[in-house]
Chains A and B, each alone.
Chain A
Amino acid sequence: MSQPIVIGKRKSRFKELAQAAIPGGGNLDLCLTCSSCVNGCPASGISDMDPRKFLRMVLLGLDEEVLQTPWIWWCSMCQRCKRACPMGVDIGALVFMARQQWSRENTPKGIQKSCDLHLEFGNSTGIRREDWVSLCADLVEETRQQEEDWKDLPAPMDKKGAAYYLNQNAKEPTVEPEEMIPLWKILHEVGIDWTYSSEQWDAVNYCMFSGDDRDWEAVVRRQSEIVDDLGCKTLINTE
Chain B
Amino acid sequence: MIDPSWNKEGIKVTCQDPCNLVRKGLGDGVADDLRFVIKQVVGEENFVDMWPNKSNNYCCGGGGGYLQSGFVEKRRAFGRIKFDQIQATDADIVVTPCHNCRSQITDIGQVYGGKYQAVHLWSLIVKAMVRKSTATPL
Contacts and interface: CB of A to CB of B under 8 A. Distances in A.
Contact of A186 (B82, B122, B134): B122
A80 B59 contact: yes
Given A73-B71, A171-B103, A206 B55 contact: no
A87 to B, nearest CB: 17
Contact of A172 (B63, B79, B99, B131): B99
Nearest to B123: A182
Interface string A164-196: 000001011000000100110110010000000
A171 B96 CA distance: 14
Contact of A108 (B58, B61, B71, B138): B71
B35 to A, nearest CB: 18
Contact of A110 (B61, B68, B99, B132): B68
A183 B82 CA distance: 27
A198 to B, nearest CB: 21
A42 B99 contact: no
Interface string A21-48: 0000000000000000000101100110
B63 A76 contact: yes
Contacts of B56: 40, 80, 83
A206 B68 contact: yes
Given A46-B74, A83-B55, A108-B70, A78 B99 contact: no
Interface size class of B (residues with CB under 8 A): 35 or more
A203 B97 CA distance: 13
A179 B120 contact: yes
Nearest to A171: B99
Given A73-B69, A179-B120, A186 B19 contact: no
Given A73-B71, A179-B123, A186-B129, A79 B24 contact: yes
Which of A78, A108, A183 has the most C-beta atoms of chain B within 10 angstroms of its own C-beta? A78
Given A80-B58, A83-B56, A149 B134 contact: yes
Contacts, number: 111
B132 A189 contact: yes
B125 A76 contact: no
B65 A182 contact: no
A197 interface: no
Contact of B99 (A75, A182, A189, A239): A239
A117 B84 CA distance: 35
Interface residues of A, number: 39
B98 interface: yes
A209 interface: yes
B29 interface: no
Which of B63, B65, B81, B129 has the most C-beta atoms of chain A within 10 angstroms of its own C-beta? B65
B78 interface: yes
Contacts of A110: 65, 68-70
B11 interface: no
Given A108-B70, A189-B131, A77 B123 contact: no
A183 B61 CA distance: 25
B122 A42 contact: no
A74 B71 contact: yes
16 contacts: A42-B81, A42-B82, A73-B66, A74-B74, A108-B69, A109-B70, A111-B65, A114-B65, A114-B68, A182-B123, A183-B120, A185-B126, A206-B68, A208-B65, A209-B64, A238-B99
Interface of B: 19, 23-24, 55-56, 58-59, 61-66, 68-71, 74-75, 77-82, 98-100, 103, 120, 122-123, 125-126, 129, 131-134, 138
